[in-house]
Structure 1
């Protein structure tokens, strides 16, 4: 499953867009985009910046969408792969 989550907040140092590949409720790869244009990623081969994969099970998309600080939509594998490559992931 691939999800795109917009995080509504006012923290300059935190990402505003999180793109995740999730298998069995575990994050496999993640791309984070920041308001200043920076992009970071994390995956099995490494990471950039301070981006890391979640060490706990991910909540369901429904649970994430119920939190008002997040807007969630599912994305295709192809769209995630394009974002992953653009972020520098291999």
Structure 2
């Protein structure tokens, strides 16, 4: 598994400003968090998703390719860093 944290610089109110993903060996997302400007966080995994957040349908480019676009600033993260964010934000809605 690989873990990435990508800041997306844009002015679109409906799009996330930070994307945090867990990638499998083929670079497909297995879990993802999307952080929005208004403070909300969406999540998606193979078993659940919230709001407009979904797993990507194509492999995620390598960080060098992501960072070649000035709108993005991506870094690698540790599995432990990802898990902290996942446990904090990927909670099913309470009814």
Shorter-chain TM band = over 0.9
1:39-78 Cα deviation digits (max 9, x unpaired): 0100011100110001011111110011111001111101
Runs of 4+ in 1 over 6 A off after TM superposition: none
Shift of 1:8: 0.2
Find the structure with the greater CA-based Rg: 2
Unaligned runs of 5+ in 1: none
Partner of 1:19: 20
Counterpart mapping for 1:6-45 below 5 A: 6-23=7-24, 24-45=26-47
Measure the CA separation in 1 of the matches of 2:91 and 2:33.
Answer: 9
Richer in strand (by share)? 1
1:20-48 Cα deviation digits (max 9, x unpaired): 00112111100000011000100011100
Aligned CA RMSD, in angstroms, stands at: 1.2
TM-score w.r.t. the length of structure 2 is: 0.90
Unaligned runs of 5+ in 2: none
